[in-house]
Structure 1
Amino acid sequence: MSAATAIPRYPTDVTSDWLAGVLRSSGSAAEVDAVEVAPVGTGQTGATFRLTATYAGNPDNLPGSFILKLPANDDAVRDRVTLGYRSECAFYQSVAELVTIPIPQCYHVEIADDGASYALLLADQAPAVQGDQIAGCDLPEARLAVRALAGLHGPTWCDERWQTFPGLAMSVVGEDAIRGLGDISKMAAGITIDKLGSRLNTQDAETLVAAMDLVTPWLLNAPDRFALLHGDYRLDNLLFDGDRVSVVDWQTLGVGLAGRDLAYFTGTSLEPALRAEAERDLVADYHRALLDTGVSDYDAATCWHDYLLGMIQVPLISALGCAFAVETERGDDMMAAMLRRGCAAIRDLGTLELVTS
């Protein structure tokens, strides 16, 4: 590997020679005269930068800016999420061209050192705006998101190859592993309640504990319908631009009941009153989009059932994230908002009773 194309470790390693080299590796004849590097995003699990390029020659009409993702500068964070880095790179290497969910164009992906070093160069989605997890979203944004989600689930629907896909980060296979996750989930619930304190009211804390107590039977008795899952399909991982949405952050790929992604989105992104008013229509929108991808033998009633069942995904991912992620003020506020909405949805929809039945 030449110095021009070695994987950058720090933003100072991102030079015009490096950018020109990786663009050439994707088939472009562009000549990069200069590149400016500026940080973007929160950097919770990695370092994300906007690259602004000045071209000496641009025969392929490449964009003037890109988004570059690198590992986190914090060694502890990087060591904890290398599996996520491998998952995201695997998505762009092996999945992106097979699905129709809207994603940024990928110009370069490279990974080494078992995930400790990687570089992911994507099209800049500006002026698209990241969703606000704490504020929540409105109905038009929710419709865009649920319809887009069908573009991931439909092309991977009940395809056995994804069960053993090496890029999975959130896959639990076998009864022992499922029971282990159930035990971890119970522990995470207690840690989350302690961390969030008064941000989480008594009723929501009780719902969280009850839901985490059911993770093991929820997974052991899941229907045999499955698809590739985003795993963390929420507003912070969606970029909105008018009537368009782009989906990012593919570090939590898994396989399971598709209703988990769908319920996780509505349960974390919509205030309870709006969700209760709109969720029937949103699930119907998703179901129609899923059928448009070619899925058959999946009726609307079954889709609604899977949506109800999938709502356990909200406290599961939220509690695991809260308990074991680096603690920040915004992160705690975000997790509290997600759990408040999701626990209300679980109670409103009777999800716990459905699991125990």
Structure 2
Amino acid sequence: MTIPRTVAELTPEWLTTALDGRVDEVVAEPVGTGQIGSVYRLRLTGDNIPAQLMAKLPAADPGTRAMLAGAYRQEIRFYTEIAGTVAVRTPHCHHAEIHGDGGAFVLLLEDLAPARQGDQIAGCTVAHAHQAVAGLAGLHAPRWCDETLLEIEGFSRNGPEEAATLGELYGPTTDLFLGRLGDRLTPEDHDTVRACGDVIADWLVARPERFGLVHGDYRLDNLLFGAEEPAVVTAVDWQTVNLGLPARDLAYFVTTALHPETRRVEEENLVATYHRRLVELGVTGYSLDDCRQDYRFGVLQGPLVAVFGAAYGAATERGDAMFAAMIRRSCAAIRDLDSLTAQPASPRPDTHRS
């Protein structure tokens, strides 16, 4: 099939072939701002097809498409090669296709309405945070320290070259970030963000004895919460999935989703919920204390994502407010946990999934 490049090319004829059903009519409604990609809700009429789907296409701007081609390829790989092997809730994928270098792709995904998107600025309830970290364990546990992940194209562990590149880029990127959003932060936050640059390269490659799939951007805006209680949590936007220390996802979520006052009270319980679910899903040789130490170590994921995202992403009013909130919360956690002095744990070769 010819791959659609615009929403106009998501015709009833193309959708009939892609969905293996009969589509008589399609009505498309844009969702989101389209900065990273174009997302549409499709309302379909026909036979043996879903009534609604979410369609993801590349960004309209050619330069953006070229820059994000690798991320597009990674999301396709997740849905076609990874999603069926993990226990995290994701949208069901009805069709996934990518051509050439990745600048042309299409994803047809389950529409999870009326589930509601999380709000990174407002934060979330403690109950929703527990559901989210339990779901995160469902991503990490099934492929915990699974060497076969390295056989999948596009999945790799960071090494000295990536660490050196990050070390070179972090300082200038921090300057850009603080130049734009520094007035929304305290002087103490400025100091914390800059201090991360002294350790970030070593941090990126530390603790290689524990690795697994990491979402890379597991935060509230990338989660959908069902209306029932306890809420079913679904993770979306898999363009940054790769391999790394699993607790980086945990620390990133907890420290950016909760206001510091709440996080200080609840983080021990949240780490325990995550660890308990890992064990339930078969991870052995990984103690709760190991998990606590990895959580403390992984908190630098917050500044890393927010600094680069704000410095190089398209500026929007909400985006600026979001990145500033994430930095304020994660910097508070770094200071509370003294994460800048955390040292890599000794290797534990017995850590594995049963």
Instruction: Give the shorter-chain TM-score range.
Output: over 0.9
Distance 2:66 2:319 in 1: 20
Distance 1:193 1:135 in 2: 22
Distance 2:41 2:337 in 1: 42
2:268 aligned to 265, 268, 280, which one?
280
- Show the counterpart of 1:20: 16
- Show the counterpart of 1:155: 142
For the 8 Å contact 2:158–2:244, the answer to whether it is kept is: no
Q: Does 1:116 align with 2:107?
A: no
Distance 1:80 1:200 in 2: 30
SS in 2 for 1:338: helix
1:104 aligned to 91, 96, 100, which one?
91
- Show the counterpart of 1:202: 187
Return the letter of the residue paired with 2:66: D
1:235 aligned to 207, 210, 220, which one?
220
Q: TM-score, normalised by structure 2?
A: 0.93
In structure 2, the CA distance between the partners of 1:278 and 1:153, relative to structure 1 (3 Å rule), is same
Equivalent residue runs for 1:137-156 within 5 Å = 137-156=124-143
- In the TM superposition, what is the alpha-carbon distance from 1:195 to its structure 2 partner? 1.3
Distance 1:266 1:208 in 2: 18
- Show the counterpart of 2:339: 351
- Show the counterpart of 1:27: none
In structure 2, the CA distance between the partners of 1:106 and 1:356, relative to structure 1 (3 Å rule), is closer
- Show the counterpart of 2:279: 291
Structure 1 residues without counterparts, runs of 5 or longer? 25-29
- In the TM superposition, what is the alpha-carbon distance from 1:245 to its structure 2 partner? 1.0
1:215 aligned to 194, 197, 200, which one?
200
- Show the counterpart of 2:350: none
SS in 2 for 1:36: strand
For the 8 Å contact 1:212–1:315, the answer to whether it is kept is: no
Distance 2:45 2:206 in 1: 55
SS in 1 for 2:90: coil
Q: TM-score, normalised by structure 1?
A: 0.93
1:333 aligned to 321, 340, 349, which one?
321
Instruction: Please give the per-residue CA displacement for 1:166-212, whole angstroms capped at 9, x wherever unaligned.
Output: 233xx563313211112112221111111113112211111011112
Return the letter of the residue paired with 1:133: Q
SS in 1 for 2:113: coil
Equivalent residue runs for 1:9-158 within 5 Å = 9-24=5-20, 30-55=21-46, 57-58=47-48, 62-158=49-145
Return the letter of the residue paired with 2:211: F
Equivalent residue runs for 1:169-318 within 5 Å = 173-242=158-227, 243-318=231-306
For the 8 Å contact 1:20–1:31, the answer to whether it is kept is: yes
2:3 aligned to 7, 10, 18, which one?
7
Return the letter of the residue paired with 1:160: E
- Once the two structures are overlaid, the 10-residue window that deviates more, 45-54 or 193-202, is 193-202
- In the TM superposition, what is the alpha-carbon distance from 1:223 to its structure 2 partner? 4.3
For the 8 Å contact 1:239–1:247, the answer to whether it is kept is: yes
- Pairwise CA RMSD: 1.5
How many residues get paired? 342
